[in-house]
């Protein structure tokens, strides 16, 4: 069985690894069963699994997020802006951008 979460003993002489499907061991309270050493959580990725490429929307959000947050902060005269408001504004900008892209493809 391949586990998503592996807890490795910090003791160099032990190195025992305990696997779990979810992060269920509290490393502050629990210790290695073999040597009573401290456990460290290590998350493993499945070998050979390719990462999905970013969608156009994800690229757009990454590109516009900082500038939209800056703009909204200035508009609210320096008050803290909620991430929800930033994403709402980015959503509106995305609608316009998507419409422009469709029109460009149609022409």
What does the pLDDT look like over 54-90, one tens digit per residue? Answer: 999 999 999 999 999 999 999 988 888 899 999 999 9
Cβ distance 91 to 83 under 8 Å?
A: no
DSSP three-state, residue 63: helix
Q: Which residues pair with 31 in a beta bridge?
A: 38
What does the pLDDT look like over 81-102, one tens digit per residue? Answer: 899 999 999 999 999 999 999 9
Q: pTM of whole model > 0.75?
A: no
> How far apart, in whole angstroms, are the C-alpha atoms of residue 80 and residue 86?
11
Q: Which two tokens stand for residue 70?
A: 């800056």
> How far apart, in whole angstroms, are the C-alpha atoms of residue 53 and residue 99?
23
Q: Which two tokens stand for residue 9?
A: 């003993």
């Amino acid at each position: 069985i391949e586990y998503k979460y592996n807890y490795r003993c910090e003791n160099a002489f032990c190195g025992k690894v305990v696997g779990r499907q979810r992060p269920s061991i509290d490393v502050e309270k629990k210790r290695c069963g073999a040597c009573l050493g401290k456990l460290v959580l290590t998350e493993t990725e499945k070998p050979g699994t390719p990462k999905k490429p970013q969608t156009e929307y994800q690229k757009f959000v990454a590109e516009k997020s900082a500038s939209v947050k800056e703009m909204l902060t200035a508009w609210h005269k320096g008050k803290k802006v909620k991430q929800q408001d930033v994403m709402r504004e980015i959503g509106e900008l995305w609608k316009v951008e998507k419409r422009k892209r469709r029109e460009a493809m149609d022409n």
